[in-house]
Copies of this chain bind each other. A is one copy, B any other.
Amino acid sequence: MQSKYPAGRLPDPPSPIADDGDETHFCGTCAFSSACIAAGYHKPELAALQCLVEHVGPFRAGEHIFRTGDPFRAIFAVRSGTVKTRMVDKEGREQVLGFYLPGEVIGLNAIYPEHFPCDAVALDTTFFCRFSFPAMSALASRVPAVQQHLFRMLSKELGTASLLAGDHSADERVAAFLLDLASRYAARGFSATRFHLSMSRGDIANYLRLAAETVSRVLSRFRAQKLISIEGRELELLNPGRLREIGQTLLRE
A-side residues, CB < 8 A to B, are: 87-89, 91, 93, 95, 97, 108-113, 117, 137-138, 140-142, 144, 147-148, 150-159, 161-162, 164-167, 209, 249, 252-253
Identical subunits present: 2
- Is A158 within 8 A of B159, CB to CB? no
Q: Which residues of B contact A253 (CB under 8 A)?
A: 87-89, 93, 95
Given known A109-B162, A249-B89, contact A137–B147 (CB-CB < 8 A): yes
Q: Which residues of B contact A137 (CB under 8 A)?
A: 144, 147-148, 151
A96 to chain B, nearest CB (A): 9
Cα distance A253–B89 when bound, in Å? 4
Cα distance A117–B159 when bound, in Å? 8
- Is B89 within 8 A of A252, CB to CB? yes
**Chain B residue with minimal CB distance to A146?**
B141
**Chain B residue with minimal CB distance to A91?**
B249
Q: Which residues of B contact A110 (CB under 8 A)?
A: 155
A116 to chain B, nearest CB (A): 11
Among B93, B111, B144, B158, the residue within 8 A (CB) of A108 is B158
Sample 20 A-B pairs with CB under 8 A, ordered by A number. A87-B162, A89-B249, A93-B249, A95-B166, A109-B159, A111-B152, A112-B152, A112-B159, A117-B159, A137-B147, A140-B141, A140-B147, A141-B141, A141-B142, A141-B147, A151-B154, A154-B155, A164-B165, A165-B165, A166-B209
- Is A155 within 8 A of B109, CB to CB? yes
Given known A151-B137, A167-B209, contact A109–B249 (CB-CB < 8 A): no
Cα distance A203–B20 when bound, in Å? 48
**Chain B residue with minimal CB distance to A85?**
B162
Q: Which residues of B contact A141 (CB under 8 A)?
A: 140-142, 144, 147
Cα distance A93–B37 when bound, in Å? 40
